[in-house]
Amino acid sequence: MVLRRVDGNTSVTVQGYAPPAQSADIMDATVKASFICQITNDELASSGYGSPAAMDRLRDGPKLYTLTDATPVYDGPTLCGWTLIAAGGEIS
């Protein structure tokens, strides 16, 4: 996956985990729920990307999503990852 700032000037390749859509989220063979993905903070910290923010773009293969929210994940006091919530999924 590639996470990119809305202005397109900064990007970072990340490995994320996106659980599969649940049957309640699928209607007419298309997913109707938000795309939720979890990433570690390691790639962001080492690249200087900073914190993900609403309107950043997330490319997963041929699909392009727009972040609506990014929630930090902590292990005690240590920031260890992010939960990304996105909309879209247009093939581009």
**pTM of the full structure:** 0.82
Q: Do the domain assignments include residue 80?
A: yes
Q: Do the domain assignments include residue 59?
A: yes
Distance of CA 3 to the CA centre of its chain: 7
Q: Which of 58, 67, 69, 68 is nearest to 92 (CA)?
A: 58
Domain extent at residue 54? 2-12+34-91
Look at residue 42 and give its three-state secondary structure.
helix
Q: What is the mean pLDDT of residues 58-71?
A: 94
Number of domains in the chain: 1
What is the rounded CA–CA span in Å between residue 9 and residue 27?
Answer: 36
What is the rounded CA–CA span in Å between residue 60 and residue 91?
Answer: 10
Mean pLDDT, the chain, integer? 87
Q: Do the domain assignments include residue 18?
A: no
Q: What is the mean pLDDT of residues 31-55?
A: 88
Over residues 21-32, the pLDDT tens digits come to 655 455 555 555
